[in-house]
């Protein structure tokens, strides 16, 4: 096209391309431990194109959902944390039958997807989720004095890009 100059678009295109590459790069190319130190992190449950339900008695939770839905009930009595990743998919994680000691980190990533987390009412949940155009909705109702003697804390870390995370207690 005569007279068209691309100079004003050069840096915006570079910045957008770098952001897209940062979000979509393979997880093996980045440090995704976030302070976790567990040996079975690569033995996760991958689910693509469909849905899956089940229970998990492992101490570490590792769920990846791509264009699919995953439902997990965690039965571990020594829950140590883990990672939940949803890309254009969803996950429902039920921790009501799990137990933990002290503070545990759970890394959550939602890209154009959603994660529903169901936790026991007596756990304190600390939200450290970063994101762009995301929502973290804590729908728990803590009774008066519920966190006076805190011994069980779940720290949510990670990111959400055009995704949502819902926290509930029953």
Q: Where are the domains of the chain?
A: 32-168
- pTM, two decimals, is 0.67
Strands 90-94 and 135-138: unpaired
Taking the C-alpha atoms of residue 62 and residue 116, their distance in angstroms, rounded to an integer, is 15
**Can you tell me the distance from the alpha carbon of 144 to that of 80, in angstroms, rounded to the nearest whole number?**
27
Which residue in 165, 26, 169 sits closest to 86, CA to CA?
165
Task: Please give the chain's pLDDT, 170 residues, in tens.
Answer: 687 787 888 888 999 988 888 777 765 544 444 444 444 444 455 445 555 666 667 889 999 888 888 999 999 999 999 999 999 999 999 999 999 988 999 999 999 999 999 999 888 899 999 888 888 888 887 666 666 667 889 999 999 999 999 999 87
Q: Which helix (H) or strand (E) holds 22?
A: helix 10-24
CA 98 – CA 94 distance, rounded (Å): 8
């Amino acid at each position: 096209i005569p007279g068209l100059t691309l100079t004003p678009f050069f840096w915006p295109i570079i910045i957008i391309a770098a952001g897209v590459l940062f979000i979509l790069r393979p997880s093996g190319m980045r440090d995704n431990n976030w302070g976790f130190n567990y040996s079975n992190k690569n033995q996760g449950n991958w689910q693509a194109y469909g849905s899956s339900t089940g229970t998990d008695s492992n101490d570490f939770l590792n769920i990846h959902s791509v264009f699919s839905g995953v439902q997990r009930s965690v039965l571990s009595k020594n829950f140590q944390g883990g990672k939940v990743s949803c890309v254009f998919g969803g996950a429902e994680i039920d921790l009501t039958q799990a137990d933990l000691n002290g503070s545990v980190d759970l890394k959550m990533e939602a890209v154009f997807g959603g994660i529903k987390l169901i936790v026991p009412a007596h756990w304190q949940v600390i939200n450290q989720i970063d994101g762009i155009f995301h929502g973290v909705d804590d729908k728990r109702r803590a009774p008066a004095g519920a966190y006076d003697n805190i011994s069980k804390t779940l720290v949510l870390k990670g990111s959400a890009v055009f995704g949502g995370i819902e926290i509930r207690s029953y």
